[in-house]
Amino acid sequence: MKTIITTIALFISLLSFAQETTHTLKVTVPNATSDEGEMVFALNTKETFMVAAPVQSAAVKIEDGVATVTFENVAPGEYAIIVLHDLNGNQRMDFKDGMPAENYNVSGGQMSFGPPVFGDAKFTLKEDTEMNIRL
């Protein structure tokens, strides 16, 4: 009987360690050019970046040129964030003459000509994290 209780206790403790820890990711855009529209944040993995729905997303109000979002229950791993100042609230990037008509950036701030690249924007989430992304 003692062996059975010990085995059950060991099994329960192993199950609690097997549950993956999640983290909180707080992202702030500190330099929006206006409070017009909303700031759209998209948290992506390599598999979703620029090709599929993000892992998590949020659209928030801009106050005094600052917008902040907190992503909760994010599993450890590699991610990239795309941020868009959506002036007209249509939840997508607008273009004029083939160029983006609204400000945007990615985590890492590595913007160049052409679409963003996951490898330039990625970061590893290992703990609760706060970051700024400037437009």
Query: What CATH number has the domain bearing residue 118?
Result: 2.60.40
Residue 9 lies in a domain: no
pLDDT class of 109 with cuts at 50, 70, 90: confident
Tell me the pLDDT tens digit for each residue of 17-70: 545 799 999 999 999 999 999 999 999 999 999 999 999 999 999 999 999 999
Give the burial class of 40: count Cβ atoms within 10 A of its Cβ; 0-12 exposed, 13-18 middle, 19 or more buried.
buried
Residue 55 lies in a domain: yes
- 3-class SS at 112? coil
Total-model pTM? 0.83
Domain with 88, as residue range(s), is 21-132
Domain count of the chain? 1
φ, ψ (nearest 5 deg) of residue 106: -125, 160
- Region 66-87: what's the mean pLDDT? 98
Residue 14 lies in a domain: no
Taking the C-alpha atoms of residue 105 and residue 81, their distance in angstroms, rounded to an integer, is 8
| pLDDT > 70: percent of the chain | 85
Name the H helices within the chain.
2-18, 118-121
